[in-house]
Amino acid sequence: MLRIAVPNKGSLSGPAAEMLHEAGYQQRRESKELRIVDPTNEVEFFYLRPRDIAIYVASGQLDIGLTGRDLLIDSGAEAEEILALGFARSTFRYAAKPGTISGLADLAGKTVATSYEGIVAAHLADHGIDASVVHLDGAVETAIQLGVAQVIADVVETGTSLRNAGLEVAGEPIMKSEAVVIRRTGADADDPKVQQFLRRLQGVLVARTYVMMDYDCRVEQLEKAVALTPGLESPTVSPLHNEGWVAVRAMVPAKEAQRIMDDLYDIGARAILTTAIHACRL
Ligand SMILES: Nc1ncnc2c1ncn2[C@@H]1O[C@H](COP(=O)(O)OP(=O)(O)OP(=O)(O)O)[C@@H](O)[C@H]1O
Ligand SMILES: O=P(O)(O)OC[C@H]1O[C@H](OP(=O)(O)OP(=O)(O)O)[C@H](O)[C@@H]1O
Ligand SMILES: [Mg+2]
């Protein structure tokens, strides 16, 4: 049975459960459940604090885990990223009162408050900057107003939290993060159960980013049409009863679907339809 760590709270927990559900796995019914077994898929899910997931996976007790890239790196645990999941996207940045920090060098001698001490200490050391780091569990934006630090290092998504605290970002982003699947460093890469799990999640990612497009076009326009809709391997082309016409079917990126439909219409394609993909194995 595959043993998988799933975030039990915070920004990662809802979207992670949703993705696993879309991939056909049973998920817990209430937020107090700590562990569930999905016997059909031979998987056991452990609902753990996001910050602890890399540590459990590195210990070898759990085969894989879903967590944030920033949390993985901050933990320093012997675990590695094997698939990026595209949700809980954020950057990790320094911030301070406007006009106080213009670049990294200005951090020297300052105190930086953060919940991600591992990332910050390593970043400061890499750049040879001597600054103190104070660990806070959360709401670090308030640390400056209350005099605990002159600088913070925190997760930034929309920037609303920084604006509300009267702060602005300082220097370049330290890293970009998103939800990721991790496993113990050096674990068996060919484990068929892990491979099947990853294929299912990849199927969800594809189903979320692509739509199926169908249309009819004149044979003379086929090459132009196929250039607009090359599909993942190659589009399916079937003859129509009306001579001189073909039906074409191809996957296209969902974000580009409307533009592609306009372009197809302009070259004479008709009956252009898009349909959602619910699941897929590439
Ligand atoms: N506002 C946000 N937008 C996108 N991702 C976020 C946001 N806040 C946190 N994250 C991401 O979520 C992960 C942190 O999860 P965690 O549950 O520890 O914190 P949280 O979502 O801030 O929850 P809480 O602080 O309430 O416990 C990190 O990977 C982080 O990058
Ligand atoms: O740029 P934004 O869209 O405002 O998002 C970033 C904020 O979201 C998270 O805070 P959360 O609400 O989880 O509180 P926390 O600081 O206690 O973790 C994060 O720690 C930032 O404070
Ligand atoms: Mg938080």
Query: 178: closest CA among 139, 138, 200, 205?
Result: 205
Measured by CA distance, the residue closest to atom 23 of ligand 1 is 10
pTM for this model (two decimals) = 0.92
Check whether residue 31 and residue 69 sit in a common domain. yes
Bridge partner list, 270: 216
pLDDT tens, position by position, 163-215: 999 999 999 999 999 999 999 999 988 899 999 999 999 999 999 999 999 99
Indicate if ligand 2 lies below 6 Å from the C-beta of 242.
no
- Inside any domain, residue 129: yes
Residues 43, 202: Cα–Cα separation, whole Å = 17
Question: What percent of the chain shows pLDDT beyond 70?
Answer: 100
> For residue 75, what are its two tokens?
């933990």
Check whether residue 6 and residue 132 sit in a common domain. no
Indicate if ligand 2 lies below 6 Å from the C-beta of 137.
no
Q: Helices 192-209 & 10-22, crossing angle to 10 degrees?
A: 100
pLDDT tens, position by position, 127-142: 999 999 999 999 999 9
* CA 84–ligand 3 middle distance (angstroms): 20
Check whether residue 47 and residue 184 sit in a common domain. yes
In single-letter form, the type of residue at position 74 comes to D
Ligand 1 pocket, CB under 6 A: 9-12, 50-51, 68, 70-71, 88, 90, 138, 155, 157, 177
Which residues are CB-contacts of 254 (< 8 A; sequence separation ≥ 6)?
Answer: 208, 209, 210, 211
Measured by CA distance, the residue closest to atom 28 of ligand 1 is 68
- Inside any domain, residue 79: yes
Question: Following CA atoms 42, 48, 53, 58 in sequence, which dihedral angle do they give, to the nearest 10 degrees?
Answer: -60
DSSP 123: H
- Please give the residue range of the domain that contains residue 122: 90-177
Residue 124, pLDDT above cutoff 90: yes
* CA 11–ligand 3 middle distance (angstroms): 7
Q: What is the pLDDT of residue 282?
A: 83
Mean pLDDT of the chain: 97
Check whether residue 94 and residue 167 sit in a common domain. yes
Residue 77, pLDDT above cutoff 90: yes
- Inside any domain, residue 222: yes
Domain count across the chain: 3
Indicate if ligand 2 lies below 6 Å from the C-beta of 157.
yes
Q: Which ligand ends up closest to the CA of 92?
A: 1
Question: What percent of the chain shows pLDDT beyond 90?
Answer: 98
Check whether residue 182 and residue 43 sit in a common domain. yes
Taking residues 56-64, what's their average pLDDT?
97
pLDDT tens, position by position, 223-265: 999 999 999 999 999 999 999 999 999 999 999 999 999 999 9
Where residue 28 sits, what CATH number does that domain have?
A: 3.40.190.10
From 161, 163, 178, mutation site for ligand 2 pocket: most ligand atoms within 8 A of C-beta: 161
